Structure 1
Amino acid sequence: MGENKNTYIIELREIEKEYYGNKVLKGVSLAVKPGEIHALVGENGAGKSTLMNIIFGMPVIFSTGGFTGEILFEGRPVEIKSPKDAMELGIGMVHQEFMLLPGFTITENIKLNREILKDNVASRIFGPKLKTLDVAAMRKDAKKALNELGMNVDEWLPVAGLPVGYMQFVEIAREIDKKNVKLLIFDEPTAVLAESEAEKLLDAMKMLAAKGIGILFITHRLNEVLAVADNITVLRDGEKVGSMRKEEASVEKMAQMMVGRKIERVEKSKGRVEKSSEVILSIRNLYVDMPGEEVKGVNLDVYKGEILGIGGLAGQGKIGIANGIMGLYRAKGEVYKNGKKIELNNPRKAMENGLAFVSEDRRGVNLMLDESIELNIAIGAMQVKGMFLKPLLGLNWIKLLDERKVRENALKYIKELDIRCTGPTQKTRQLSGGNQQKVCIAKALVLEPDILFVSEPTRGIDIGAKKLVLDLLVKLNVEKGMTIVMTSSELGELRSICDRIAIVYDGKIEGILSPQDSDTDFGLMMAGEYKSHSKEEAL
């Protein structure tokens, strides 16, 4: 760093942090200039989110013993002990797990703690405490921030029920609306977005940088790094293992630095046997009332032994299909497995019939965050199949937890899925996002299902863990003959492992493509224009 230190908005020097006896940051230094997009990449558990929490003064840092090292902001040493301190300096943060109030409108979320007040008769007589909200001025500010992001949405809509893609833009609009913002931290901002929305977001980031705002950008999508970053810092196991300018970077180079091994981007041939034409799951006229992901009459057959992909843009209903079949949202229609009708709106019945589900909402649905890894992995099979229970004194009607079997089971999956943890008794809350996701997959696999539904299985997971998860799905499919239905916003991932891909548009199946079909066909189908385009060609 030969330049004058005042050319940086923020400088981190030798930052170190320990959690629960694990050193998660080991002497990390980096600096961001005004108008620079600085990407921070690394495997799950590399320390990226911890670094961001330190910059933003998050309570979790100080409730676990603080950190060592120095932070300089605009050339001056600073102590950031709370998010309030960070915001006063001009630091904003857009989180991967949303920090929005669902009962409030978009405008109220954008203007939260910065509400605009106006005088009224009472306030003029009794003082400023009786001022009322200037809703018109607040809506005007909110609309301006949304427009800057290309968001054409009513700013007075409630946040509850919005598609996740919209929520992400509301988070960003809230930060843009702050007048003094100098540094914006984006923590996996595109993890929940479809490809078209992600492009809009990257454009918005470039627009913000052009205004002189410094941006720290954490992402697992390395192509996005190449598209927008000026400089890149790579973390591995809590250490800075490299930094490079955009001109020096490539996906292969970053991936190799991140995981310490070469990662092939070439799709490997799975070498699997020809798929059966036997229908294992038949879905007819399925409607699912899932806010933001409504399903409006889906008809779909799943063949035994295939990996079927379900893709589509955010908000079109792809997420709703598995959630409806597994009974997490109100559904109507008919679902048959091997010709036998499965009762809808009953998660237990779905699991008893050989279906298992890894939800896209790992924190809300899949995990008991304050329980151990081993209990989380075992609980579903315990409740549905009576596994991991042993009779008390030979009495079959009184069962106790078989702790030895629970432990053995957990150790097996920790090894098989490479779950990074201190051991099977560690609380699931203490794991990084990607490792929590691996616990969710283990929990589903213990049920030994015939059909495994996985929804956004690599969301928020680093490139190495993504490959592990995708390879694992292929392995389950090849070696155990498990039928897999994978819903994902990552079209590239669907094309890399699926036999067929069903594209959802406006709550229905727009069509089914082969992974080898053209980008144009996929693009037209996702935009809902495939059928009309085909008709034009026929004419």
Structure 2
Amino acid sequence: MSRGNYILEMKNIQKDYFGNKVLKGVNLSVKKGEIHALLGENGAGKSTLMNILFGMPVIHSTGGFEGEVLMDGEKVDVKSPNEAMKLGIGMVHQEFMLVPGFTITENIKLNREITKHNIISKISIDCLKSLDIEKMNSDSRKALDTLGMSIDEWLKVEGLPVGHMQFIEIAREIDKENIKLLVFDEPTAVLTESEAENLLCAMKKIAESGIAILFITHRLDEVIAVADNITILRDGEQVASLRKEDTNVLELAQLMVGRKIESLNKKDNVKQENREIIMSINNLRVSMPGEEVKGVNIDIKKGEILGIGGLAGQGKIGIANGIMGIYPSKGDVYLNGESFKLNSPKDALKKKLAFVSEDRRGVGLLLDTSIEDNIVFTSMQINEEFIRRYGPFTQLDHKKIRDHAAKMIKDLDIRCTGSDQITRRLSGGNQQKVCIARALTMNPDILFISEPTRGIDIGAKKLVLDLLVKLNEELGMTIVITSSELLELRSICHRIAIVTEGKIEGILNPTDSDATFGLMMSGDYKKINSKEVL
């Protein structure tokens, strides 16, 4: 055992993807029986660090990493999740990895079944052994008891409450004989408050048994409740390593999001309360898998840039997708004071709304057609523009299409060989500009744009953000930007709505404190204010 009884040591971990450095010398040490919290916004580097720990193929297929990983003081080179498991590293996933038709015991013992001899196996070969159900049930009962679960181990998983499923995931991991380190990835995200409290108690029991826990979460009150030590990542860098006793929720929130904000929106903000409301959204619910909206209320003001932020899976992406009719939605929405029909993309487009999807390549573009066809496609379908009519016959107006595409290419500075170039061959930033060009061709009153800079380089990001500011300032266009990049929202938006657990946690000004943004994103702002702990 290494000095300090460290189960895991990750030293000076560096990783880049095709020249983009995503981890910049991160150090992480976890002791036997310790609960160590790992914090950071989306894109901070947590997932990449865990991919290295578990030897995921994405790491090795992209050139590996720099630095050292040690288990029990011995350097290891983990090439696959199977090797990680043999070293005693387990993972409790946010998404359940259970077989619904199997019993609890069968799920806990899957791929680690206990067998015993029967009459046939004794006189032939071992592969004909029977399952030792009694021993398997006994082991499962022991794991469930450790977690304080009184549920019968022979019940089928199908139909059980979500909280029970999470505990079964944990029971499967602690049942493994050699388990030394358990990674909990947002384990309370799908749990009720009481279930989450039970889980935190179970984590303490597991740690008391000598198993180390790496706790990845965005709920800062839970960190303070159970963690011994805390590591915070931001933009791939390790910005803090703290003992729980030496910090508080406010400081953690500030450390998670704190960074210099450079405003791209040079125009002084008009007093927001004086702006006319262009769209009012009341109790919006959207059934978007992984981004469910559970009752959003917000007013969009004419001529503003409204940001919608929050952590992944909290529902921020679902708002625009619901308004535009991409996913089933319900609620009361009013556009310019008139009732707005949901669940109809065609109606939304006819009402002068435009949408640039977060899924640029899957939804936003016709990748194997030309730039010009992509730019005019929606307008042709909805507004019947760029079409010549000859009695009952129609024909594409190729000159008008090409002239309009050329103007858009010039105005948006789309780097290409010409408007007839196939869209797939453009860079990510230029593909995004083609998406925006298509939306602008609809002459929208409101432009919804999701993750506008995802997957494009730093230079292209600034060009896209500058373009959105220009559209707002020069054309007075109302723009609603949904983004995981809080820095970008704070640099160009007039107001920023933070979404947590499918609802609006609060609406902030870009200049509000890092701590306030961090608390809202973690879902702790209302809790702390109600307790007057601030």
TM-score range relative to shorter protein: 0.5 to 0.7
1:329-384 CA distance string (max 9 Å, x none): 7789998878988777655556655778999xx8xxx5657999x99xx9999775
- Provide the C-alpha distance between the structure 2 equivalents of 1:207 and 1:19, rounded to a whole number of angstroms: 39
- Provide the C-alpha distance between the structure 2 equivalents of 1:156 and 1:110, rounded to a whole number of angstroms: 12
Corresponding residue number in structure 1 for 2:399:
394
- Provide the C-alpha distance between the structure 2 equivalents of 1:186 and 1:207, rounded to a whole number of angstroms: 14
- Sort the Cα spacing of 1:302 and 1:394 in 2 relative to 1 into closer, same or farther, 3 A: same
1:209-255 CA distance string (max 9 Å, x none): 11111112233333333222212223344333432222222344444
Tell me if structure 2 keeps the 8 A contact 1:358–1:453. no
Structure 2 stretches lacking a partner, 5+ long: 262-268, 387-395, 415-428, 437-448, 510-525
- Provide the C-alpha distance between the structure 2 equivalents of 1:166 and 1:357, rounded to a whole number of angstroms: 39
Corresponding residue number in structure 2 for 1:63:
61
Corresponding residue number in structure 2 for 1:215:
213
Counting only pairs closer than 5 Å after superposition, residues 355-374 of structure 1 correspond to structure 2 as 366=359, 368=361
Tell me if structure 2 keeps the 8 A contact 1:230–1:245. yes
Counting only pairs closer than 5 Å after superposition, residues 284-363 of structure 1 correspond to structure 2 as 349=347
Corresponding residue number in structure 2 for 1:504:
none
Tell me if structure 2 keeps the 8 A contact 1:194–1:490. no
- Provide the C-alpha distance between the structure 1 equivalents of 2:135 and 2:349, rounded to a whole number of angstroms: 51
- Provide the C-alpha distance between the structure 2 equivalents of 1:151 and 1:319, rounded to a whole number of angstroms: 35
Tell me if structure 1 keeps the 8 A contact 2:181–2:212. yes
Shift of residue 149, structure 1, vs aligned partner: 4.4
1:404-444 CA distance string (max 9 Å, x none): 75756847999997758425889xxxxxxxxxxx9xx99xx
- Provide the C-alpha distance between the structure 2 equivalents of 1:246 and 1:39, rounded to a whole number of angstroms: 9
The reply to whether residue 33 of structure 1 matches residue 31 of structure 2 is yes
- Which of 435, 457, 460 does residue 422 from structure 1 map onto? 457
Counting only pairs closer than 5 Å after superposition, residues 145-160 of structure 1 correspond to structure 2 as 145=143, 148-149=146-147, 155-158=155-158
SS in 1 for 2:112: coil
Give the counterpart letter for 2:157 in structure 1. Answer: L
Give the counterpart letter for 1:157 in structure 2. Answer: V
- Sort the Cα spacing of 1:202 and 1:52 in 2 relative to 1 into closer, same or farther, 3 A: same
Give the counterpart letter for 2:500 in structure 1. Answer: S
Give the counterpart letter for 1:100 in structure 2. Answer: M
Counting only pairs closer than 5 Å after superposition, residues 84-103 of structure 1 correspond to structure 2 as 84-96=82-94, 98=95, 100=97
- Sort the Cα spacing of 1:421 and 1:192 in 2 relative to 1 into closer, same or farther, 3 A: farther
Tell me if structure 1 keeps the 8 A contact 2:8–2:69. yes
Structure 1 stretches lacking a partner, 5+ long: 264-269, 427-437, 459-464, 478-483, 498-514, 521-539
Q: Which moved more, 1:341-350 or 1:3-12?
A: 341-350
SS in 2 for 1:50: helix
Give the counterpart letter for 1:224 in structure 2. Answer: E
- Provide the C-alpha distance between the structure 2 equivalents of 1:58 and 1:74, rounded to a whole number of angstroms: 21
Give the counterpart letter for 2:97 in structure 1. Answer: L
Give the counterpart letter for 1:212 in structure 2. Answer: G
- Sort the Cα spacing of 1:225 and 1:279 in 2 relative to 1 into closer, same or farther, 3 A: same
Corresponding residue number in structure 2 for 1:79:
77
- Provide the C-alpha distance between the structure 2 equivalents of 1:492 and 1:283, rounded to a whole number of angstroms: 11
Give the counterpart letter for 2:207 in structure 1. Answer: A
Tell me if structure 2 keeps the 8 A contact 1:287–1:331. yes
Give the counterpart letter for 1:200 in structure 2. Answer: N
1:450-476 CA distance string (max 9 Å, x none): 99798xx87xxxxxx45865x699736
Shift of residue 158, structure 1, vs aligned partner: 3.1
SS in 1 for 2:21: strand
The reply to whether residue 10 of structure 1 matches residue 8 of structure 2 is yes
- Provide the C-alpha distance between the structure 2 equivalents of 1:51 and 1:201, rounded to a whole number of angstroms: 24
- Provide the C-alpha distance between the structure 1 equivalents of 2:206 and 2:50, rounded to a whole number of angstroms: 19
Tell me if structure 2 keeps the 8 A contact 1:324–1:331. yes
Tell me if structure 2 keeps the 8 A contact 1:57–1:83. yes
Shift of residue 318, structure 1, vs aligned partner: 13
| TM-score, length basis structure 2 | 0.59
Shift of residue 289, structure 1, vs aligned partner: 8.7
- Provide the C-alpha distance between the structure 2 equivalents of 1:253 and 1:420, rounded to a whole number of angstroms: 31
SS in 2 for 1:31: strand
SS in 2 for 1:114: coil
Corresponding residue number in structure 1 for 2:494:
475
- Provide the C-alpha distance between the structure 1 equivalents of 2:504 and 2:338, rounded to a whole number of angstroms: 34
- Provide the C-alpha distance between the structure 2 equivalents of 1:251 and 1:517, rounded to a whole number of angstroms: 9
SS in 1 for 2:184: strand
- Which of 226, 232, 242 does residue 224 from structure 2 map onto? 226
- Sort the Cα spacing of 1:347 and 1:211 in 2 relative to 1 into closer, same or farther, 3 A: farther
SS in 2 for 1:394: helix
| Identical amino acids, percent of aligned pairs | 47
- Provide the C-alpha distance between the structure 1 equivalents of 2:404 and 2:117, rounded to a whole number of angstroms: 67
Shift of residue 53, structure 1, vs aligned partner: 1.5
Shift of residue 194, structure 1, vs aligned partner: 5.1
Shift of residue 90, structure 1, vs aligned partner: 0.7
Question: How many residues were matched structurally?
Answer: 446
Corresponding residue number in structure 2 for 1:509:
none
Shift of residue 74, structure 1, vs aligned partner: 1.3
